[in-house]
Amino acid sequence: MAEAAVVYATRTGNSRALAEHIALALGTRAFRIEDRVPRSGLWGYVRAGFQASTKKASPIGDPGVDLRTADRVVIVQPIWASSVVPPIRTWLLAHASELVGKRIGLFTVSKGGDPELVRKAFESEFMRPDVFGHVMESDTQAVKEAACARFAEEISGGR
């Protein structure tokens, strides 16, 4: 039976927690795309924002998810400068041909910036996500879990 694949990138852990909720709801596990660029401290933050807004693809540790058996692929990321974050960009470029024909979900978390901007950025650089979800870092746990559950249900489309 076809499965769902869940990948995420995170700097401070919010995207990981969300990816794990979504993965649990989809009966799978979440795989981290390791960001190999130092992102801590002021310079790490500034570099992250610069690389995101200039559409950089930065070095990653690829979790090597087997996408052949997946019919749904979920990508979870924080919003940096309203953009696709560099480690996710690298992963998407590396796996573009494997993603063709699959149902794609994008789920983001931010401090409050307009999520529609990142949805549009994702669509113009890569593909139109079939399902899009978003929470704010400050949302309660209950709101976040409900958003993850809705998203998982929507990407599975009644499966």
Ligand X SMILES: Cc1cc2nc3c(=O)[nH]c(=O)nc-3n(C[C@H](O)[C@H](O)[C@H](O)COP(=O)(O)O)c2cc1C
Are the C-beta atoms of residues 7 and 19 closer than 8 Å to each other? yes
Number of residues that bind ligand X (CB under 6 A): 20
Task: Tell me which of 60, 70, 80, 104 binds ligand X, using CB under 6 A.
Answer: 80
Query: Does residue number 12 form part of the binding site for ligand X (CB under 6 A)?
Result: yes
| Cβ-based nearer residue to ligand X, 12 or 124 | 12
Cβ-closest residue to ligand X?
A: 113
Strand order in the sheet with 103-110: 30-32, 3-8, 70-78, 103-110, 131-136
Are the C-beta atoms of residues 78 and 16 closer than 8 Å to each other? no
State how far the Cα of 21 lies from the Cα of 38, in Å rounded to an integer.
26
State how far the Cα of 124 lies from the Cα of 133, in Å rounded to an integer.
17
Q: Which of 75, 68, 71 is nearest to 92 (CA)?
A: 75
Neighbours of 74 (CB within 10 A): 29
Are the C-beta atoms of residues 77 and 108 closer than 8 Å to each other? yes
Task: Tell me which of 29, 36, 55, 111 binds ligand X, using CB under 6 A.
Answer: 111
Task: Tell me which of 4, 14, 106, 122 binds ligand X, using CB under 6 A.
Answer: 14
Listed ranges 21-29, 76-84, 88-96, 145-153: which one lies at the site for ligand X (CB under 6 A)? 76-84
| Cβ-based nearer residue to ligand X, 103 or 115 | 115
Interface residues for ligand X in 128-157 (CB under 6 A)? Answer: 137
| Cβ-based nearer residue to ligand X, 82 or 90 | 82
Q: Which of 24, 7, 31 is nearest to 92 (CA)?
A: 7
Query: Does residue number 58 form part of the binding site for ligand X (CB under 6 A)?
Result: no
Listed ranges 59-67, 79-87, 89-97, 145-153: which one lies at the site for ligand X (CB under 6 A)? 79-87
Residues that bind ligand X (CB under 6 A): 10-15, 45, 48-49, 78-82, 109-113, 137
